[in-house]
Amino acid sequence: MSKSFELQLAEIADRVLDDAKFIATEATQDLMEAAQTPQIGVSRGGDGFEEGKIPVDEGDLINSLVSSLNGARVGGEDQASYGVAIAGFELGDVLEFGWTQEYAPAIEYGWTTGSGKQVPGRHFVGANVARWQEFIDAAVAKVCK
């Protein structure tokens, strides 16, 4: 017995919604993994500067990540809290992520030392947000396999 046209459309719509949710969660997961990718900080012997990575000396900044789903904080304050938020995500929800260390903006955007030296920002958030389309495209490619 063949399915009704209405049932076929409903099944297609369900698959499309499932795919859209997968793409949104996968791309968000990839973005947050990139933003939380550590680079050894200078005080621990790090000798390079790589934009888009979060510097880690003592771990205070990387572990200050907080995540919220529809305005309510979920998970703890740690480097993997975004996973809890993403796991609860449904299409139409709002995910928010932030770092609570007071020096997070200086690390992101850069600062000027007391002697006037300009220290460039790491852009661990902005550089990865700028890659959003890349993350979307990668998730779409997984759906299309």
* Amino acid in position 11: E
Q: Across the strands, what pairs with 99?
A: 65
The number of distinct structural domains making up the chain is: 1
pTM: 0.88
Residue 3 and residue 1: Cα distance in Å, rounded?
A: 7
Domain of residue 121: give its range. Answer: 5-144
Count the alpha carbons within 13 Å of 28 in the hemisphere toward its beta carbon: 25
In this model, does residue 136 exceed pLDDT 70? yes
pLDDT tens digits, residue range 90-132? 999 999 999 999 999 999 999 999 999 999 999 999 999 999 9
pLDDT tens digits, residue range 53-100? 999 988 899 999 999 999 999 988 877 789 999 999 999 999 999 999
Note whether 49 and 120 are within 8 A (CB).
yes
- Mean of pLDDT values over 39-60: 83
In this model, does residue 142 exceed pLDDT 90? yes
